[in-house]
C-alpha cells in the first residue's frame, strides 16, 4: 500500500502557483484577487473561509471576504455578486455552499460571471467540462485527478467507479475520468449491487458522505482508492467514506482522511483563481 499524501502534493502546487504569481505581478502590476462570500455562521464553512484566506496569503493573492448574516435576503446576495462581477480587482468569486434555508443557490451560481466562477459551477462552465473545452474544473474532482496522476497510474483503459452523483463531485469526476479514457461507472443510492460494481474498479472514488461505508470486501486487490468523504466516526474523529484501516491492506494507492483530497481541493481553488486572473489580463 502506498499512501497518496495530499498535503505534500498541495504544498508543491501552492509553491508553483506562488512562483508564477510573482512573475506575473512583476509583469502586469496587478495582483490576483479572490472574493469569498459566506452567508450565516456555519462553523465548517467558517473554517473553510479562514483556510482560503490563509492560502491566498501564502501564494500572493489578495483576499476579499464578504460575511453576511443568515438573515441576508436573496436581493442582498444578488446585489453583492453583481458588484463583485464588476470589480476589476476581483478575478475569482466563490460563494460558500450550502446557503441558509430560503436562499436560492442556483440563482446565485447563475449570477456569477462565468470567467470569475472559480468553483466551475455555472452552467456554461459545466457545459464546457462536458465537451472537454474548459477554463476551470471543479476544485475537488480536479484535485482528485492530480492525486491519481501523482501515483503514476494511468487512467486510460482502467475501470473507474465513482460512488456519488452530486453536481459538485460525482458527475464532474466521472467526466474527467472519461476525458482520460477511463471506462466509468457512476454508482448511487439506487444502484442495485454496489459491491459487485466496486469490486470491478481499478480506480475507486468514494464521494457519498457516509462514514467508513467502503469495506475491504468491496475493494479489488491493487485498486487505487480515492476517499472524498469528510465525516465523523462514532468517536467524533474525522474519517472518510472508506474504512481506511481495512482497505489499506488491499489498495495499491490510497488517500487518507484528513490529509488527502481536502488539501488538494484548496490548492486547486488557488490554481483556478490564477487561471481567472490570466483570462482577465489577456494572458491565457
From the list 55, 117, 119, 241, the catalytic residue is 119
Query: 180 Cβ partners below 8 Å, 6+ apart?
Result: 145, 154, 155, 156
CA–CA distance, 81 with 119 (Å, rounded to integer):
14
Q: Is 119 a catalytic residue?
A: yes
Q: How far apart are CA 143 and CA 125, in angstroms?
A: 17
In sequence order, the β-bridge partners of residue 206 are 163, 227
Q: Do the beta carbons of residue 145 and residue 181 sit within 8 Å?
A: no
Query: What is the C-alpha R_g of the chain?
Result: 19
Q: Helices in 29-135 by DSSP H: which ranges?
A: 43-59, 74-86, 105-111, 123-131
Torsion sign (Cα): 115, 117, 118, 121: negative
- Secondary structure class of 201 (helix, strand, coil): coil
Which 3 state secondary structure label does DSSP give 216?
Answer: helix
Q: Which own/partner pairs from 46-49 qualify as long-range (CB within 8 Å, at least 24 positions apart)? A: 48/96, 49/96
Given 96, 115, 241, 243, the catalytic residue: 96
Annotation says 96 is catalytic: yes
- Classified as helix, coil or strand, 38 is strand
Positions annotated as catalytic residues are 52, 96, 119
Amino acid at each position: 500500500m502506498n499512501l497518496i499524501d495530499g498535503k505534500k502534493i498541495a504544498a508543491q502546487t501552492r509553491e508553483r502557483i506562488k512562483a508564477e504569481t510573482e512573475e506575473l505581478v512583476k509583469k502586469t502590476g496587478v495582483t490576483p484577487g479572490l472574493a469569498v462570500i459566506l452567508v450565516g455562521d456555519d462553523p465548517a464553512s467558517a473554517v473553510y473561509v479562514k483556510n482560503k484566506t490563509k492560502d491566498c496569503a501564502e501564494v500572493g493573492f489578495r483576499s476579499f471576504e464578504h460575511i453576511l448574516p443568515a438573515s441576508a435576503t436573496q436581493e442582498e446576495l444578488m446585489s453583492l455578486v453583481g458588484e463583485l462581477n464588476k470589480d476589476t480587482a476581483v478575478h475569482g468569486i466563490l460563494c460558500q455552499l450550502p446557503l441558509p434555508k430560503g436562499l436560492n443557490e442556483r440563482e446565485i451560481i447563475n449570477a456569477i460571471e462565468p470567467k470569475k466562477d472559480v468553483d466551475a459551477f455555472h452552467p456554461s462552465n459545466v457545459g464546457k467540462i462536458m465537451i472537454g473545452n474548459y477554463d476551470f474544473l471543479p476544485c475537488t474532482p480536479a484535485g482528485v485527478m492530480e492525486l491519481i496522476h501523482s501515483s503514476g497510474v494511468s487512467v486510460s483503459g482502467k475501470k473507474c467507479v465513482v460512488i456519488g452523483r452530486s453536481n459538485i463531485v460525482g458527475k464532474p469526476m466521472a467526466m474527467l475520468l472519461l476525458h482520460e479514457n477511463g471506462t466509468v461507472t457512476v454508482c448511487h443510492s439506487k444502484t442495485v449491487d454496489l459491491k459487485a460494481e466496486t469490486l470491478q474498479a481499478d480506480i475507486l472514488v468514494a464521494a457519498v458522505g457516509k462514514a467508513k461505508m467502503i469495506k475491504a470486501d468491496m475493494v479489488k486487490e491493487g485498486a487505487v482508492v480515492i476517499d472524498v468523504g469528510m465525516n465523523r466516526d462514532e468517536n467524533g474523529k474525522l474519517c472518510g467514506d472508506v474504512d481506511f484501516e481495512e482497505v489499506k491492506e488491499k489498495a495499491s494507492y490510497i488517500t487518507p482522511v484528513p490529509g488527502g483530497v481536502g488539501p488538494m481541493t484548496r490548492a486547486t481553488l488557488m490554481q483556478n483563481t490564477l487561471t481567472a486572473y490570466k483570462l482577465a489580463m489577456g494572458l491565457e
